[in-house]
Structure 1
Amino acid sequence: MNRALRRIAPVALATAAAALLLAGCAGGGDPEATDTPAAADCMDLSAGELSDGVKVEGDFGGVPTVTFDTPLEAEELERTIVTEGDGEVTAAGDSVNAVVSAFAGSSGAQLFSQPATITAGGEGVYEAFLAGIDCVPTGTRTVTVAPASALYDGEGNENVGLAKGESVVIVVDVKEPLKAKEWTEDVPEVTFGAEGEAPTVTLPDTAPPTDFQIKVLEEGDGDVVATGDTVTLNYQGTSWDTGEVFDQSYGGDPAQFSTDQVIQGFGAALVGQKVGTKLIVSIPPEYAYGTDAAAAELGGQTLVFLVEILDTAPAA
């Protein structure tokens, strides 16, 4: 296995929003220090002059354009509902499908814009990010203005260009739960080699699929993967846009990933599947590394993963 490829594996903890939202994963803070709401409670949030003053443009679920007076310096959390959806209201414990975009309060510069799956009311998630999904209907777009103390323990995050003590503007689009369609047309050809050899995935000469699609190649008969499980698997990732294999576990030890700390499409492809299953999944950019090609190495690309599920275990 080419270990150098692991830097853009499905977890991609250095850049994926799943890691940026978690206390202790991006800024060296202590997850226990993050104050989260009780299981049945909504956060105490209200709009304010700063959050109301943020102008958001762009398609829902895409990379928004945000303008506000700079420098913006917040003293407390403020949340404004820009567009209210009409779907189910999020509740503590829900796995919420969202697009999270963050902007530096000092300059208005975009820090990141990534799809993410966030557990509402989840322990260890910074309250600045929880605020955007808290007790709102699916289809809602929110703007949260957060003081430095509400994320990364006020220390900033050099990985995304956030300075110590800097306030942040966060736009969250709360989307419908991610469900895959059955992949029936233009499915890549898969050839499995001898034991220990990497399989070959041959992509058809067509445009990348626009839908999130799964084809079960062989159904297993083991335990069913649940949200939050740690799954042991072999996988191979190919970019439909370049035709190149960008990462795989074949040729080395099987990989272990938690379903809620990987890119959205990868995690969603695992949940509900049985141990022993072999599948291939097509993940469009909005469920992978986002639609912005400049935001991540695989940004704007449709990804294809071949996956063999070997085992699953509940989260500790």
Structure 2
Amino acid sequence: MRKTTSAVTVLGLTALALAGCAQAQDPETSTACGRADGASSALSSVSVEGDFLTETPTIEAPASFHSTGVQYHDQVEGNGAVVTSDEQPVVLSVDFVNPATQESVALSPVPAMTISAWQDMLPGLGDALQCAAEGSRVIAALGETGINEDFGAQLPSYIATDGSDFDLGNVITVIDVDRVYLASADGSLVYNAGGGMPSVVRNDDGVPGITIPNSKAPTSQKTETLIKGDGDEIADGDTVTVHYTSVNWETSSVSSSTWDSGTPTSATLDELPDGFADALKGATVGSQVVTVVPGDSGAATVSVIDVLGVDAQ
């Protein structure tokens, strides 16, 4: 089975990633998207064994392996959704291996994060995964500049145990692409007459801005579909991955937003914030809804929710 002891320790380092164009549905292939094999002669000599996602990969590679820049090779090419934007959330299993020692350490499991958020820790990941497909196993050398300096400084204590010289150019990274989600709602716009509901605009990345009308909030929950996606419909018990922004009706101030962290929420409907379950009943992947949930003393919360993906129970 895949190692977990060291993985839990290193997983805490993903805080580095959290501190600081929408995908088209079902592109033909990652090659059609523009993915080219970036392997050098050195990386093409690397072989990896171990079942996708479930086993710690074992590597055969020259002990003297070294890379100064980002290189990658798709050992397995998946046939799922394709990474076309740094703003897409992905679920990855990532193993770092030192060929000289055969020592490895895993970041697994990691919740869905955008490629942009991952790049705070692994700057070279965007190049290595551009146009990669869900279900792929990517063998990558991120080089000395493709791994964050603070994160990279901690790797030797896990994978450089023979006393030999070590730098980040020695590291081989095995990336299993478990899930690729939409960057934002990508369906068709739906006409709504208004009727005292907030208005929503979006920037080029799909991030919503909300304008509250100069009127009192509804006294019961009210929901409108702004964008209708053509993906799977959410079913009871499914885990849904969403981006959302919530604002206070009276102050127009943002109370919470997953867009700010680059980390969408993945949960069942009953685990999401109040009112989301009702708002998302019957919603499909690629949709965006706006819902107003009344609160105590006449206060209300307005939430704009993008449905990025669904994982069946």
Q: Quick check: which one's helix share is greater?
A: 2
Structure whose alpha-carbon radius of gyration is higher = 2
TM-score range, shorter chain: 0.3 to 0.5
* TM-score (norm. length: structure 2): 0.47
* TM-score (norm. length: structure 1): 0.46
